[in-house]
A = this chain, B = another copy of it.
C-alpha cells in the first residue's frame, strides 16, 4: 500500500505515520517528490484493515497496490484449482455443463428434464427449490419436497445435483439431498450465508452479484474459503448496466480476468444474462471460446408451462443443439466435451 501525503503535510506527520506502521511490524519507505511525499508500506497489509490511516494528519489518500483477497488469488496459489464433485472435475480439461429447469415443479417435469440434459451430455442437473422471486406473489419453490424430487432424479440418472440455497435453514435442509450448493446473485454479499456455506464444506457455485466488481467478488469468496471450504466455483451471470435489451449485461471479459488473477474455476450462466432463449446459444459459444470451464443453462421439458422464468428456459431440443455446438468449440480451445 502507498500513502500519499497532502502538499502541505509536515515532517512530523510523516514521522507519526512511520511510527504507527513500525509498531505494527510493517516496513516503511519514504519518497519525497516535487509535489508530494509518498510512503510505501511493506508487509502484510491485513494488519491495517481496522487502522484508519486515511484520517491521520497530513494524509491525502491511500492507494492499494495488491489485491485485498488472499486465498482466492493466483499469488497465493499459482496453479489452477480443480473442484471435484463426486468425480466430476470442474476446472480440468473437460467442460462441465449444468442444466435443468429454473424451478423443480413436479416429479414428471424434473425426471423429463434430467433424462433430457443427461442425454445431451450435461454432468449436473440444476433445479430451484427455494426461489428468490422479485414479487412475493409469484411461485416461491417447493422447498424440501423439491429437494426430494431432485434426489430421485439424481438416483435415476447418475447426474450430480445442484440447487440454490437462500438461508441458513435452506443450507441445513438441502445438505443431504444435493451435491453442490449454489449462491445466487442476490445473496452474493450475504456474508452470513457465505460463512455458513464455508462451514458446510460442500462444493459451491458462487454467482457474481449484479453490482459486484470482480475484486469484490473474489474478496467475498474469501468468506467461504476462510472457513476452510476451498471447493468454490465462480459463475459469471451478467451485471447491471444501462442497457436493457438483455436482462443483464454478460461481462464476458470476467472469464479471462478471473483466470489471470485467481486460481478458481469459472463457468458462465448465459440464461440469466440474456433473459431470452434466442440469445442463449450465441452467448454459450462465446463463453466457451473465451475460456470458461463450463456453463449452467436453464432447460425445461415444456417451457411454455414453466412456473417461472419461462422466457429464458431452453427446450430439450435446443439444448441438445447447444451441446453439439459446444462440443465442437471445445476442441478449438483445447478442451473436451462429450455430446452423445
Interface, chain A (partner B; CB < 8 A): 2, 4, 7, 27, 29, 31-36, 38, 40, 42-44, 46, 49-50, 52, 54-56, 63, 65-66, 68-69, 75, 130, 132-139, 166-170, 186-187, 189-193, 195, 209-211, 213-216, 219-220, 222-223, 226, 239-246, 249-257, 260, 273-274, 278-279, 282-283, 285-291, 303-308, 310-311, 325, 328-329, 332-333
Given A50-B138, A215-B245, A75-B7 contact (CB < 8 Å): yes
Given A42-B31, A52-B310, A136-B223, A36-B7 contact (CB < 8 Å): no
Residue in chain B with minimal CB distance to A69: B135
Identify A253's interface contact among B35, B63, B246, B328, CB under 8 A: B246
A36 to B64, CA, bound (A): 12
Hey, which chain B residues are within 8 Å of A240, CB to CB?
Answer: 211, 240, 242
Given A33-B42, A66-B35, A239-B249 contact (CB < 8 Å): yes
Hey, which chain B residues are within 8 Å of A249, CB to CB?
Answer: 239, 241, 249, 251, 253
Hey, which chain B residues are within 8 Å of A63, CB to CB?
Answer: 2, 63, 65
Q: A52-B303, A52-B310, A166-B190 are in contact. List 7 more A-B contacts (CB 8 A).
A: A27-B33, A34-B42, A52-B304, A55-B311, A213-B245, A239-B242, A242-B242
| A246–B257 touching, CB < 8 Å | yes
Hey, which chain B residues are within 8 Å of A255, CB to CB?
Answer: 282
A134 to B193, CA, bound (A): 14
A305 to B50, CA, bound (A): 9
| A65–B52 touching, CB < 8 Å | no
A210 to B278, CA, bound (A): 25
| A134–B219 touching, CB < 8 Å | yes
Given A283-B253, A329-B332, A31-B35 contact (CB < 8 Å): no
Listed A/B pairs (24) with beta-carbon separation below 8 Å: A2-B65, A31-B42, A52-B303, A54-B310, A55-B303, A55-B310, A56-B304, A63-B65, A68-B134, A69-B135, A132-B190, A134-B220, A170-B192, A211-B211, A211-B239, A239-B241, A239-B242, A245-B254, A250-B253, A252-B283, A252-B286, A253-B283, A260-B279, A329-B332
Hey, which chain B residues are within 8 Å of A311, CB to CB?
Answer: 52, 54-55
Residue in chain B with minimal CB distance to A277: B55
Chain B: minimal CB distance from A298 (Å):
13
A46 to B167, CA, bound (A): 26
A278 to B2, CA, bound (A): 22
Identify A286's interface contact among B29, B43, B289, CB under 8 A: B289
A290 to B311, CA, bound (A): 20
Hey, which chain B residues are within 8 Å of A328, CB to CB?
Answer: 332
A291 to B289, CA, bound (A): 12
| B134–A216 touching, CB < 8 Å | yes
